[in-house]
Amino acid sequence: MAEDHREWLDHLDQRSRAKQEEFLGKIASRLRRPRLTQKPRQPYRGAPDFWNSYDGSEDDNLQRFTRNFEEAGGYVIRADSLQEAGRFMTEKALELQAKRILRHDRPALADLGLESSLPEAKVQVWNWNREASEDWKARAAEADIGIIMADYAVAYTGSIAILSGPDKGRSVSLLPAVLFAVIPIASLVTRLGEVLTAFDRTGREGLPAGIHFISGPSRSADIENDLTIGVHGPGIVYAVLVSG
Amino acid sequence: MSAGKNSKRTVQERAGLALNDDFLRKAVRFTTERLRSGKRKAAEEHGNWDEWRERGRQIRLHTIAHLDYYLGLFADQARVNGVHVHFADTAEEAVSLALEIASKHAAATVVKSKSMVTEEIHLNRALESAGIEAVETDLGEYIIQRAGETPSHIIIPAIHKNRYQIADLLSEDAGERLAPETAILAGYVRKKLREKFLAADIGVTGCNFAIAETGSIVLFENEGNARMVTTLPKTQISFMGMERIIPSWSDLEVMATLLPRSATGQKLTVYMSGITGPKRSGDADGPEEMHVIVLDNGRSLQLGDPEFQELLNCIRCGACLNACPVYRHIGGHAYGGTYSGPIGAVLTPALNKNVAEWDDIAGASSLCGACYEACPVKIPLHDMLVSLRRRKVERGYGDARETIGMKAYGSLMSRSKRYHGFLRLGRLGQKLIVRNGGITLKLGPLKGWNRYRVAPGLAAEPFRERYQTLEAELRQGLQELPPEIAERMRKRIGSREKSAGGEEHGGRSPGVAGSSGSTLES
C-alpha cells in the first residue's frame, strides 16, 4: 500500500513537471517573449528605504509592543527572570484551575519550574521522548494551557513569531484555550521586516515547516460584526516579557 | 449553486432583491463603513500610505511581468521542500486533481479554511458529489455553508445574515435550541469544529501569497482555522491562483503592511503563517503530505492585455468593496459571481472571457473611482470598467436602441444648427408632458430613468442663449464694486496700516496687508 502510494505520487510529479513546461510556456507567450529562465533584476524589493532606517529604542519597542498587543485583546506581563515569570504562570494556572499544561521542549521553559510549582496539574513537555506512537496533537487538544518561547517579537505590529521544530510543535500555540508566550526582551525588534528579511538570509534550506506570527487572541467579527474572542485558537494570550 | 441560479437574472433584478432586503442593506452599509473607517485610520496612523501603495504596486507589477520565472522558481523550490506542486489550466482540472488526491487517501472528511479560489472552482460541490464531506471552518463560511449560500463579501462572508437567522441555522445543525447570542453561537461552532479538525483526513486552504525564492505559502487569518487545517490533518491541499506569487520574504513585509490594514484596519491579522513544505522528520504535527494546486482558469488571458494585466496585481483585500457606493447599496450577491464589488465586476467577465453573459455587472458602477483610491496596489478598476463596456459594444453585444440613440446624439451634437433646431422642437413638444418643471412620464427611453427620479424639463430660455448677457454682466460686475463698499474697504485698510502693522493680527505681516491693499487700489 505504501509502495503503491509512493508510485502514485511519483507519477503525479512526472505529470506535473510536463504540465509545468506547458503552463509556463503559455504565460511567456501571452507576455510576448521567450521563457525567462534567468533571475530578472528586481528594482523594488521589500519595504521603502525610509522605512528600513526606522529603528526604535528598547523602551520604545517595549511600550509599542505592549500597547499593540493589549489593543488586540492580549495581556502583557513584565518579569525580571524566568523564575518570576514561572511564579506568575503558577498563580494564573491555579486561578484558572488548569488541569493540563503542555509546553515546548526548551531549556528556558524548564527553568519556569512549573513541574514542581504545580504538583496537582499534569505538566507535559511536547514530544520530549520523540516517540512517534504518542499522539501529541491530542495532548495539545486536551491541554488547558500551552506554553511557548517566542523566537522573535515585533513591536510595530504587536506580534510574537514562533518557528516550528521537533521540540516546538505548532499545536501548542494553537489548540489550548490559554497561551503563555515567554519573550526574551533581547528578541524584541521594531519592524516586521527585521524578522522577515532574516528568512531571506537564511534561505530555503534553513526554514522550518511552520513560521507563525501571533498577534493576540483568536478572533472573529463574522456574526453581526460583534467581536468574538477565542473562535478556534486560544482566547486568552499572555505575552510574558522577560529581561536578561 | 447560487451563482448558477443568479446568472439567469440580470444584475438589476438581483440588485432589486437586495434592495428589498432591509437588513441586508443596513448590515452591508454598517460593515463596509466599519471596515472602511478602520482602513482609513490604519493607513493614516501608519503614514506615507501612498508610498507603500506605490511600493506594493511595483512589486506586483514586477512579479506579474516575470511570472513564468517566479512561478517556475516557486514550483522548483516547493518541490525541494517536499511539496507536490500541480498546475491546472481550468477549474475542472483543479477539481479532478483534488478528487484524485482525496480518493487515493480514501478521505471521508475535508476541513477547509477560507479560500476564494475554491469558491471559484466550486470545490465543495464536487467533493460532496464524490461522497466526501467538505466542512468550511471559517465562522462566517460555516454559517453560510449551513444556509447553502455563497459568500457575499471577500472578508466577511456572512455579512448578510443576522444573529437570529444564524441561531436558527446553527440550532438546526446542533439539534437543540441555541440562543441568538454571539458568544453562544461562536462557542458552539468552536466545539463542533474542534472535532472535525481532529478527525478530518484532508485540510484544504487557499494561499494569500506564495514566496518564490523559498517555495513557501503564506496565509493571513484571524480565527486560527487556517492554522488548524495546516497543522492537524495528515494531508494538506492548498489552492493558489497562479498570480499569487511574490519574490521574497522581504516583499512580504510590504504585502503584510498593505493587506490587513486595507482589509480590516488591523496592523497585522492575528495569525500570519508561512508554510514551507510538509512536516519535517522529527516534527510531531503538521501534514505528512502536502499538495499545492496552481490554477489558471482565465488568469493568463489578462497577461499581455494592456488594459487588464494589472488585474492580476489584486491581493484580495476587499477595500474596493467597502469603498464602492454601489456595493454598499446592493451587497455581494447581486454581482452574481464568486467575486463581488468593483473587483468582481471586472474579474468575473475577465476570467470567464464571456463578456456577453456577464456584461451587465460592468454597468453596476458609477465610475466614481473610489475603488482605485482604496486599492492598496492602485489597480485602475474604474478604467477597466469603461474598457469592459467599450469591448461589449465593440463585440456587438450593445443595446440596439442605445446604439441608435447614441448615433442620433452624435449627429445632433456635431452640428450646432441641428442642435438648436432640436432644442426648439423639444421645448414645444415637452409642453404636453412637463408638470411642475419636471417630466415623470415612464415611457420609452424615459422609463429607466424616471423609475426613481424626475427628468427635468428643458429651460424656456436655455443657458447658451443667456450666455452672452451673462458674460457681459459678469465682466462689468468684476470691474465695478458698488461705491459704498469700495469706500468702506479703503477706510479699513487705511486704519490697519496706521496701527503699526501685525500687532492686531498676530502673525500676519504688514507686507500681506499692504499687498492686498494694492489690489484694491487698481
Cβ contact A209–B277 (<8 Å): yes
Cβ contact B72–A26 (<8 Å): no
Determine the residue of chain A that is closest to B157 in CA distance.
Answer: A222
**What is chain A's alpha carbon radius of gyration, rounded to the nearest angstrom?**
22
Cβ contact A193–B250 (<8 Å): yes
Which residues, in sequence order, are bridge partners of residue B246?
Answer: B211
pLDDT at A198 over 50: yes
Residue range A56-242, CATH number: 3.40.50.10420
Question: Which of A223-227, B46-50, B345-349: highest mean pLDDT?
Answer: B46-50
Q: Which three cell numbers stand for residue B349?
A: 467577465
Pairwise CA distance, residues B296 & B378, whole Å: 23
Lowest mean pLDDT among A75-89, B60-74, B464-478: B464-478
Residue type, A49: D
Chain mean pLDDT for chain A: 96
User: Which residues from chain B sit within 8 angstroms of residue A171, using beta carbons?
Assistant: 231-232, 285
pTM: 0.87
pLDDT tens-digit series, residues A32-48: 999 999 999 999 999 99
Cβ contact A222–B80 (<8 Å): no
pLDDT tens-digit series, residues B316-371: 999 999 999 999 888 888 888 888 899 999 998 888 876 566 557 777 788 899 99
- What pLDDT score does B477 carry? 64
Mean pLDDT of A85-101: 97
Instruction: Report which of residues B513 and B500 the model is more confident about.
Output: B500
Pairwise CA distance, residues B442 & B439, whole Å: 9
The domains of chain B are located at: 67-302, 400-463, 482-522
Q: At what angle do helices B355-362 and B341-352 cross, to 10 degrees?
A: 170
Beta-sheet pairing, B133-136 with B109-112: parallel
Mean pLDDT of B399-416: 82
Indicate the DSSP class of residue B154: S
Helix, strand, coil % (nearest 5) of chain A?
40, 20, 40
DSSP SS3 for B219: strand
- What pLDDT score does B506 carry? 40
Q: What percent of chain A has pLDDT over 70?
A: 100
- What pLDDT score does B520 carry? 41
pLDDT at B186 over 60: yes
pLDDT at B106 over 90: yes
Residue-by-residue DSSP string for A127-149: TTT--TTS-HHHHHHH-SEEEEE
Cβ contact A233–B51 (<8 Å): no
**What is chain B's alpha carbon radius of gyration, rounded to the nearest angstrom?**
30
Q: Which of A36, A138, A223 sits opposite B166 (nearest CB)?
A: A223
Question: Residue B142's CB: how many other CB atoms inside 10 A?
Answer: 24
- What pLDDT score does B499 carry? 63
Question: Residue B247's CB: how many other CB atoms inside 10 A?
Answer: 24
Any CB–CB contact under 8 A between B190 and chain A?
A: yes
Mean pLDDT of A156-177: 97
User: Which residues from chain A sit within 8 angstroms of residue B28, using beta carbons?
Assistant: none
Q: Which of A68, A140, A213 sits opposite B271 (nearest CB)?
A: A213
The domains of chain A are located at: 1-42, 56-242
Cα–Cα nearest to A195, from A62, A58, A46, A50: A46
Pairwise CA distance, residues A93 & A144, whole Å: 9
pLDDT band at B455 (very low <50, low <70, confident <90, very high): confident
- What pLDDT score does B356 carry? 61
Pairwise CA distance, residues A62 & A78, whole Å: 10
Q: Which of A24, A212, A233 sits opposite B71 (nearest CB)?
A: A24
Q: What percent of chain B has pLDDT over 70?
A: 90
Cα–Cα nearest to B54, from B377, B380, B383: B377
Cβ contact A223–B301 (<8 Å): no
- What pLDDT score does B152 carry? 81
Cβ contact B224–A233 (<8 Å): yes
Residue-by-residue DSSP string for A4-61: HHHHHHHHHHHHHHHHHHHHHHHHHHHTTSPPP-SPPP-SS-SS-HHHHT----HHHH
Q: Which of A8, A229, A231 to mutate to test the interface with B (most CBs of B within 10 A)?
A: A231
pLDDT tens-digit series, residues A97-114: 999 999 999 999 999 999
Cβ–Cβ pairs < 8 A, chains A and B: 289
Cβ contact A228–B183 (<8 Å): yes
* Cβ atoms B380, B368 nearer than 8 A: no
Question: Which of A90-94, B162-166, B332-336: highest mean pLDDT?
Answer: A90-94
User: Which residues from chain A sit within 8 angstroms of residue B301, using beta carbons?
Assistant: 30
Domain B67-302 has CATH 3.40.50.10420: yes
Instruction: Report which of residues B307 and B15 the model is more confident about.
Output: B307
* Cβ atoms B342, B365 nearer than 8 A: yes
- What pLDDT score does B516 carry? 36
For B438, half-sphere exposure in the C-beta direction (CA atoms, 13 angstrom radius) is: 7
Residues near B469 by beta carbon (within 8 Å), at least 6 away in sequence: none
- With a CB-CB cutoff of 8 Å, which residues 92-151 of chain B face chain A? 100, 104, 137-140, 143
ipTM score over 0.90, yes or no: yes
> How distant is the Cα of A19 from the closest Cα of chain B, in angstroms?
6
